[in-house]
Each structure stands twice: as C-alpha cells, then as structure tokens.
Structure 1
Amino acid sequence: MPRRLLIGTLLALMPMMVWAQDDVFARNIEITDWKAVFGRIEARDQIPARSRLGGTLVEVSAVEGMTVSAGQQIGRVVDEKLALQLTAVDASLQSLGSQLANAEAELARGENLLQRGVTTAQRLDALRTQVDVIRGQIGAAEAERNVLEQRKAEGDVLAPIGGTVLTVPVAAGSVVMPGETIATIGGGGFFLRLAVPERHALYLEEGDTIRIEAPDGARQGRLAKIYPQIQNGRVIADVEVPGLETDFVDARVLVRLPVATSSAVVVPVNAVTSRMGLDFVTVVGPDGTLRPRTVVVGAPHTVDGRALVEILSGLEGDEQLVTDSE
C-alpha cells in the first residue's frame, strides 16, 4: 500500500480532531520517580506501665485496645508482707502511746513534788528526757508507717500517658517483680514509620509530600522526620498523615516516596489515540498539515491537575499536537 494511502486511511479512521483553544505541545518536564515501600502505623510514644512493687498481681483492668487516660489505675499489686509490717508498727505505736502517757504522768508528779521540795531537779530532768525520748520513738514509728503506706500505694499500677493499651503481657494472679511491665500504652498520636533502602536516603527531605494508599482511599502525608542512624541498610523515617486510620497498630500501609527525578516527554492524555494496536499522536507540521505519528506510551502522570501521559519514543518535545474533540 503506498505511504500516502496508508496515512490517508489512518486519518480517516481517527476520530474528529480539533485545535485546542490554547496551543498543545509535547513538553519536556522533570518527572518525580516514586518508590513503593510499606510503612507501619505506630504510636508516637510507646511507654510501659510498670509495677513499682513486687508481689502478686491481684487485679488487671486494662485490655488490649482500651483507651486510658494519664494516671488511670489499670492494675493492682499486693505484697502481703506490707500488711504484717503495718500491723507491727501499729502495735508499736500503741505501746509507745501508753509509755508516753505514763511518762507524762510521772513528769507531772515530779513537777508537783519539786514544788513541795520532796524531789530534786535532777530527777525532774530525767523524767523530761524520758518523755522526749518516747515522743521521738513515736515520731520514728509514724514515719516508718508512712513509708509502708506509700509502698502499699505503689501497688497501684497507673497509666504513664493517655492513649491506647497495646499489650498486656501478664494476667491476674501472676507474681511480678518491681519494674516488670504490666501493660504497654501507645499515645502521643499515630504516624507511619518507614524503612527505606539507604540508596534512596540522599533523595529524601523532611517536608516532602508522600503518597499513601490506605484501605479507605489514597491520601497524602508529610515526611516529618528522618533518623540519622541507618539500621540493617535502611533509613528510618516518620510520616505524618492527617486522619490516619488507627484501629490496628503496626498495620502495614503502601507508601510511595519521591526518590529521584528524570526528564520525560509528556502530552495530554486526549492527544493520544489507539488504532490497530498502535498508539498515535497527530503532529502539526510547519505548513499546518496534520501528520499522525506512532508513539510508545509510558506511565500516566498528573501535573498541576492535568492528566498527562509519558511518551517513551516517537516525540522529542516541543511538537505542536492536535487533541481529541472530546
């Protein structure tokens, strides 16, 4: 088939083409290359609620997924020895109280006898000293009781921050040691934590826009922090995402990161037509004639709200095009 006849046939098969109101050209632009990685939804702060007292865990009110406030009691540890020690201190205080009452009575009699000249001042000083000693012993016993009461109060396990209970590794009836974790609380908000291959570290900048393909639809986030330490060949980064779904902590979410840029020739999507398994664009020649040209189409892109498609071969850029009438 002669070349002119082939071109005429292709033009006849194409839909009606019109000039755009604003001239349409193939453009050379910088395209952002996106790297697909998985991020994990994590709490900004994960703080364990620890037992401050060793003993038996008699009560655990926290369960996974429960929302707690800072200072809320989520468990209770009991040390039975504290109750025995408190009983002993109370008995000691009762005995010292009786001794103090007797010593004060002796002191009152001594002062009366001294006024009548029956006893000596030395004897009266000994009675005063005895009263002061007993009062000191009572003060020491009361301080010891306060310490025991404080230790008993430390059996209450409190939430260190407000947030969501992530894990509860122990059950009621367990014997725990001081400092043992009763529950882990996640709070301070949630974010996406990424582990990016270190070869892409130089292309990441704090504040970059990140694409997130969440289960409830695509959204954008902001690269909030890049950690300087590389772990196992990966750079750790945090992404802030408004309205991030936090029903499941540590859930994996597909994230696309801008890791590089490359030059590409792009045209509007409606400038490309397909016929007989081939893709064509219509180029306006210097004399105003319309000439179809076969192209190889690449990936679609959105630039400034316009739908564009990359042209891998067939155009060099700056060619004037005709777009579909629709």
Structure 2
Amino acid sequence: MPRLLLLSLLPAGPLLADPFTVAPMPVTVWKSVYGSVEARDRIPARSRIGGTLVDLSVSEGDSVTAGQEIARIVDDKLDFQLAALSAQREALEAQLANAETDLQRGEDLLKNGVTTLQRVDALRTQVDVLKGQIMALSAQADVVAQQAKEGVVLAPVAGCVLDVPVTRGAVLMPGEVVAVVGGGGTFLRLAVPERHATALEAGDRIRITEGGADREGRLARLYPLIEGGRVTADVEIENLPDSFVGKRMLVSLPVGERAALMVPQAALFTRAGLDFVTLQTASGPVLRSVVPGETHRIDGIPMVEVVTGLVPGDVVLPASEAAQVRASHD
C-alpha cells in the first residue's frame, strides 16, 4: 500500500521532540466585533461671519494644512458700514480743523487780554472731544475691517477633508459648518456588548483581521457610559489605514478564559480524511482518531485544541516515534 501524504494543519512548526502529556490548558476566549476607523481629531471649519460663500477651494478627500484658506465669505453690508464710518470721520476731521483754528485764535486773543481763560478752555475741550470722536470712529472701522477679514475660512488642523456640506453661492450664518477636517492619525472605535465590558481592561491585547491576516493592537480606552446596551472602546494600532474614515474592520476581543486539551501541531496527521495522534499505552504505541479544533500558539509552539478523542493524562509520542508507528500501519 503506498504511503499516504501527511497533511499539516498549520505551517510547519518545531517537531515534537519528547513525549507530551495531555493536560487542560488555559485558552483565551475571543469575541468578534466590528470596529470603525475614526480620525483622532475631527474638527469642523466654521464660518465666523454671516454672508455669501463666494469661494470654496476644497472638496471631500482633499488634503489640507493647518491654517490653509479653504473658503471665503463676503458680507456686502460691511463695505457699506466702512464707507459710512469713513464719511463720518471726514466730517469730524473738518470740524476738528475748524475747532483747532478757533482754539489758536482764542489763545492769541488771551495773550493780548482780549478774551477770557474760560472761553479758551471751552475751545480746547471742544478740540479734545472731536479728537476722541475721531478715535472712536477709527476703532469702529477697525472692528468692521476685522469682521471682513474673518470671512476667510481656515483649516483648523492638518489632515483630510471628510465632508463639505455647503456649495459655492450658499448664504451662511455665523457658526455654520463649511467643511469637516480629520487629522492627527486614526484609531479604531468599537461598540462592545455590555455583558463583555467587565472582562475588558485598558492595555488588553486586541487582534485585528485585515486582508485575511491578523494584526495586533492595544485597547487604549474603555468609556464608562453605556448606550443602547453597548460600551464604546478605542483601540490603538500602528499603521492603521486612513484612506477611508468610517471603514469597518473585524476585531477580536479577549473576554475570558477556558480550559482545553491541546496537542502540538506536529503530532497530528491526516489519513483517509481523519485526524490521528500517536499515543503511548501500556500495550505499546497506538493510533487515536481525534477531532481537532482551533489552533493556538503557546510559547512559540503551534498547538491544536482537541475537541474529542483524548483525555487528560494521555501521552502523545514524539514525531519521530509516531512516524515509525504510522509506517508499520501502511
């Protein structure tokens, strides 16, 4: 009878060198949930004045730098206010020039004893009042000019534009959102069923499945508020893709431990569709059919959980001796 090919359940690992005594081992219980990619900083760029959006230079997906101009809002009333303040200032400056002339004339008359000091003081007060009014108008003009400058909308942080809810030509009120910018990197946000919340702690190791491969992350924060029967948690992971904010990823959380019978992966072999291990018994080595379960890596050695077929205390033979027993059965 031709020798059958031995099929490995896992990639080749270290061979079993010594007999292995089967005993219950603690196995982490993993709960699979979906997490969504979130931007660490998600800040809206808002309009600071009301007016018409005359320029919009970004759209969804564009990259921006902190302080970059992304839109411009114009309020025509501000130009009219500036023009009115300028006209008032010109009128006051004309009155000031006339008051200063009267003051100079009064001072000359006072030197000659023609007028009184009270009259000169009144003229001097009038000049000071007009100068104060001109300064007040200048300050008002500066305020209006600053309001006009605040029509420029700037990116609050460096990152990617996630949403632009307005279009060019729209009329905006102060405080309305022009664009939402996400920056500062990304993290995973989870919604964990509340029954598993007590089993989680900050710093727990988290497995993330991406593209068929597992990556490892760290549970950074567990929020105390329960909403809709779920607890919010944040997971830190290096080099997390940030091309799509809101993308869902499969995450495995450690929610407990259970005992399981494990054997080294190298001790398992397949024949005629069944899985076997070689046991040492009082009557000699024998083949035992088993039903394998999940695979785990313990101390760097790939181990396979045995659902049925073994009991605690069974001795599994090393790979070299097991090969000889298998050869005798071929």
TM-score (norm 1): 0.90
* Aligned equivalent of 1:202, options 186, 198, 201: 198
Q: 1:88 to 1:236 in 2, by over 3 A?
A: same
Structure 1 contact 65–164 (Cα < 8 Å) conserved: yes
Is 1:317 matched with 2:315? no
Match of 2:63 among 64, 67, 76: 67
- Cα-to-partner distance string for 1:32-72 (whole Å, 9 max, x where unaligned): 11111111000122111111101101111222122223322
> Is residue 15 of structure 2 the alignment partner of residue 22 of structure 1?
no
5+ residue gaps, structure 1: 1-8
**Are the structure 2 counterparts of residues 20 and 188 from structure 1 closer, same or farther at C-alpha, using a change threshold of 3 Å?**
closer
Partner of 1:32: helix, strand, or coil? strand
SS of residue matched to 2:317: strand
| Paired position in structure 1 for 2:152 | 156
Letter in 2 for 1:107: L
CA separation of 1:136 and 1:273: change in aligned 2, threshold 3 A: same
Give me the whole-angstrom Cα distance separating, in 1, the residues matched to 2:189 and 2:16. 45
TM-fit CA distance, 1:216: 8.0
1:46 partner amino acid: R
1:240 matched residue in structure 2: 236
Q: Structure 2 counterpart of 1:262, which letter?
A: R
Q: TM-score, normalised by structure 2?
A: 0.89
292, 295, 312: which one aligns with 1:297: 292
Q: In structure 2, which of residues 207, 210, 214 is the aligned counterpart of residue 211 of structure 1?
A: 207
Matched, 1:251 2:247: yes
User: What SS is found at the alignment partner of 1:130?
Assistant: helix
| 2:219 corresponds to | 223
Determine what percentage of the aligned residue pairs are the same residue.
Answer: 52
Aligned mates of 2:76, 2:23 — CA distance in 1: 81
Instruction: Give yes or no for the alignment of 1:137 onto 2:120.
Output: no
Letter in 1 for 2:242: T
Name the SS for the 2:147 alignment partner. helix
Alignment partner, residue 5 of structure 1? none
Structure 1 segment 81-160 matched on structure 2, within 5 A: 81-160=77-156
Q: Which runs of 5+ in 2 are unaligned?
A: 7-14, 324-330
TM-superposition CA deviations, 1:109-151 (whole Å, max 9, x none): 1111111122221221111011011011101101111111121
* Count of aligned positions: 312
Is this contact kept in 2: 1:14–1:273, CA < 8 A? no
User: Alpha-carbon deviation of 1:14?
Assistant: 9.7
**Structure-2 separation of matches of 1:218 and 1:262:** 22
TM-superposition CA deviations, 1:266-323 (whole Å, max 9, x none) = 0011211222332221111246x21222222112122222111111122123422124
2-structure distance, mates of 1:113, 1:286: 137
| 1:162 CA displacement | 2.4
Give the CA deviation at 1:13: 7.5
The answer to whether the Cα contact below 8 Å between 1:107 and 1:127 also exists between their aligned partners in 2 is yes
Structure 1 window deviating more from structure 2 (102-111 vs 19-28): it is 19-28
Separation of aligned partners in 2, 1:206 and 1:154: 43
- Alpha-carbon separation, structure 1, partners of 2:294 and 2:219: 25
Question: What do you get for the CA RMSD once the two structures are aligned?
Answer: 2.0
Shift of 1:158: 1.7
Which of the residues 22, 45, 49 maps onto 2:45?
A: 49
